[in-house]
Amino acid sequence: MFRYKKLGYVALNVTDLSRSVPFYRDLVGLQLNEQVEGGPAFFACSADHHNVVLHQGGEPGLKRVGWEMEQPDELDRLFEHLQKVGLNPVALSPEECRALRQQRTIRIKEPFSGLTFEFYEGQLERGSTYTPTVTKIARLGHVVLNVERWPEAVKFFKETLNFRISDYVDGFIAFMRCFPNPYHHSLGIGNAAATRKDPGLNHVNFMVTDMDDVGCALTRVKRHDVPIVYGPGRHPPSGSIFLYFLDPDGMTLEYSYGMEEFPEERPRKARVLEARPESLDYWGNVPDPRFASTGRFEPASEG
């Protein structure tokens, strides 16, 4: 089957770009690479042109998820596969790709969230590197979605989109990696009914390079009266030290340090963890009710 390189970017809808742009730049620590007049703001935490794109919208939420393929021919292989399984992939025009600063790009409507899922060869070179500021962010780590029809969604990502399951919390969430990317999860599929959350964005994660980044972030967000909704703590499935907080619209963001990595061949079997708080935090924290409570899925356009 086709092979991924990584989770490339997430596109978020925010209700006030003039408020969110400085938050993501100055408090989260992303680099603002481009802001289109009357259009989106492109942020990076890597050598990419963008890892987060903010769009002005009437309601906060998740607009799109982009996945970078390992090689150009993997995109061809994926396109053919998506056609065969009836997902009707659409190739973006050269003009649309240029506007996104991306090479060849295709899109589908993901059937369980209704979101636009995007797959692309790579991004255009921007001639400069990401320079960490308040936090030494290593990469965009993962995105977690709360969906209905959870078992079917997990099966879809495993069998149709070639994601591998690293671990489950029984009946609540599946942690999945885009093969052969080694990190424990680049995608989480949460059971909206079991978590008593509406379908929508659960959270977006940024992996940091030092445990002190988590501690310094705790101090920084407190100083700026940013709500902390979970942690600091340590996740048993991935081994990550974590801190969750809210953006100005109430969407949940995470910093994490450390994560289990899987070999491409002969990885360990996925574990099924008991559904209890200690399966998500060794330290026994329970999330604030505001955790993962804001972030509507923007339905993909048809055709």
How many angstroms separate the CA atoms of 250 and 296, rounded?
Answer: 11
Whole-number Å distance between alpha carbons of 213 and 222: 14
Q: Is the pLDDT of residue 35 over 70?
A: yes
Tell the burial category of 303 from Cβ atoms under 10 Å away from its Cβ (0-12, 13-18, 19+): exposed
Sign of the four-CA dihedral 275, 276, 278, 284: positive
Q: How many CB atoms lie within 10 A of CB 264?
A: 11
What local confidence, expressed as pLDDT, does residue 286 receive? 94
Q: What residue ranges define each of the domains in the chain, with the CATH number in brackets? A: 4-120 (3.10.180.10), 137-297 (3.10.180.10)
Query: Mean pLDDT throughout 31-42?
Result: 94
Please classify residue 61 by burial: count the beta carbons closer than 10 Å to its beta carbon, then call 0-12 exposed, 13-18 middle and 19+ buried.
Answer: buried
Beta strand 228-234 with 241-246 is antiparallel
Q: Check residue 303 and give its pLDDT.
A: 52
pLDDT on residue 36: 86
126 has pLDDT over 80: no
Q: What is the mean pLDDT of residues 105-120?
A: 99
Residue type, 203: H
pLDDT confidence band for 56 (50 / 70 / 90)? very high
The model's confidence at residue 125, banded by pLDDT at 50, 70 and 90, is: confident
The alpha helices in 44-149, defined as continuous H runs, are: 72-84, 94-100
Residue 20 token pair: 């969110």
What residues form DSSP beta bridges with 252?
246
Q: Which two tokens stand for residue 301?
A: 């356009």
Coarse DSSP helix, strand, coil percentages of the chain, rounded to the nearest 5 percent: 20, 35, 45
Please name the amino acid found at residue 220: R
pLDDT band at 296 (very low <50, low <70, confident <90, very high): very high
**Chain mean pLDDT for the chain:** 97
**How is residue 9 written in tokens?**
């970017």
pLDDT recorded at residue 131: 93
For position 241, what pLDDT does the model report?
98
Reported as a single tens digit per residue, the pLDDT across 243-262 is 999 999 999 999 999 999 99
pLDDT for residue 302 = 63
Q: Report the distance separating Cα 241 and Cα 168, nearest Å.
A: 18
- Per-residue pLDDT tens digits for 191-239: 999 988 999 999 999 999 999 999 999 999 999 999 999 999 999 999 9
- Give the pLDDT band (50/70/90) at residue 176: very high
pLDDT, residue 24, reads 99
Name the helix (H) or strand (E) containing 208. Answer: strand 200-208
Helices (H), the chain: 17-22, 72-84, 94-100, 150-159, 192-195, 211-223
State pTM to two decimals: 0.97
In this structure, the chain runs to a length of 303
Report the percent of the chain where pLDDT is more than 90: 93
**Average pLDDT of span 50-77:** 98
Q: 261 forms bridges with which residues in the sheet?
A: 183
**Residue-level pLDDT at 129:** 85
